[in-house]
Chains A and B, each alone.
Chain A
Amino acid sequence: MVPTSYYLILSAVLFGLGIVAFVFKRNVITIFMSIELMLNAVNLAFVAFSQARHQSDGQVFVLFVIVVAAAEAAVGLGIIILMARNRQSLNVERVDLLKL
């Protein structure tokens, strides 16, 4: 028997680490991976609540989150390829056309 709060704490820790990676990394592919990490943390919380309340809604939502993540990965990696082709760099600091 693992208390639900343990899963929630793990989920919060993983989400926090995802935010840290999102802010500190400079490579656009790694930033994208940290978004996936945050989505995974949220999925963990969904499944933990669904099991704690004995309802399957949470797991259905996890499936939707995974579908959205897959679509996002396809489009996002297309954008990354375009960016690498136009800028010859994967560093987000180099993408500053909209910066004042």
Chain B
Amino acid sequence: MTPQLAIFFVLATLAVLGALSLIFQRHPIHSALSLIVVMIALAGLYLLMGAEFVAAVQIIVYGGAIMVLFVFVIMLLNAGEEERTSFSKLAGIAGIPLAVALLGFLAAAIARSNESAQAGLQSGTLANTKEISTMLFKDFVYPFELTSFLILVAILGAIVLAQREKS
């Protein structure tokens, strides 16, 4: 087993355990901390693939900004333990076959993937960040400007939603 494969398995196990912990923790703040573990593990995987810029953005934006927002809202609302409620019958009858079908399709698609996809990744072969920036500001400049507009709308929407109503 090469060291890269060993690192992959450690990080992948960490990510899956974090995701499982997100499901099984009953307190939202514990779920949020598990999600941070998943995101840091994914950032490590991006580094392993040689995508340094995406790894840095993952840690700064996801692990930093978005999760801080989540933890802040959990504390602001003083969210407690989740209540247990009964599950619907329909979810049990339709959900499990659909989940099995989805897993089957995914497994079949991955198993049938061609040789080039199976061949493996050379890590760090691209001069990545430079190429990404060139692509972002040349080929994808209109979507990029649109996202800035999207963020502006999102900020306005969040302010309008969260402000107290004047009586």
Contacts and interface: CB of A to CB of B under 8 A. Distances in A.
Interface of A: 1-10, 12-14, 16-21, 23-27, 29-30, 32-34, 36-37, 40, 43-44, 47-48, 50-54, 56-57, 59-60, 62-64, 66-75, 77-82, 84, 90-91, 93
A80 B28 CA distance: 13
Given A1-B5, A66-B61, A77 B73 contact: yes
B117 A40 contact: no
A91 B31 CA distance: 15
A47 to B, nearest CB: 5
A5 B113 contact: yes
Contact of A51 (B49, B74, B118, B147): B49
A26 B83 contact: yes
A27 B82 contact: yes
B136 A73 contact: no
Given A60-B136, A81-B77, A26 B35 contact: no
Interface bin, chain B: 35 or more
B82 A26 contact: yes
A23 B99 CA distance: 11
Given A25-B82, A59-B54, A75 B158 contact: yes
A95 to B, nearest CB: 13
B17 to A, nearest CB: 10
Contacts, number: 221
B73 A71 contact: no
24 contacts: A1-B120, A2-B5, A2-B8, A3-B119, A5-B113, A14-B16, A14-B19, A16-B103, A33-B31, A36-B62, A36-B66, A43-B54, A43-B58, A44-B45, A51-B51, A54-B125, A54-B126, A57-B135, A59-B53, A60-B139, A71-B153, A74-B69, A78-B159, A90-B77
A90 B80 CA distance: 9
A82 B122 CA distance: 48
A75 B15 CA distance: 27
Contacts of B53: 59
Contact of B151 (A18, A70, A91): A70
A2 B2 CA distance: 9
Contacts of B95: 23
A98 B13 CA distance: 41
Contacts of A52: 116-117, 119, 121
Interface string B109-138: 010010011111111011010011001100
Contacts of A19: 99
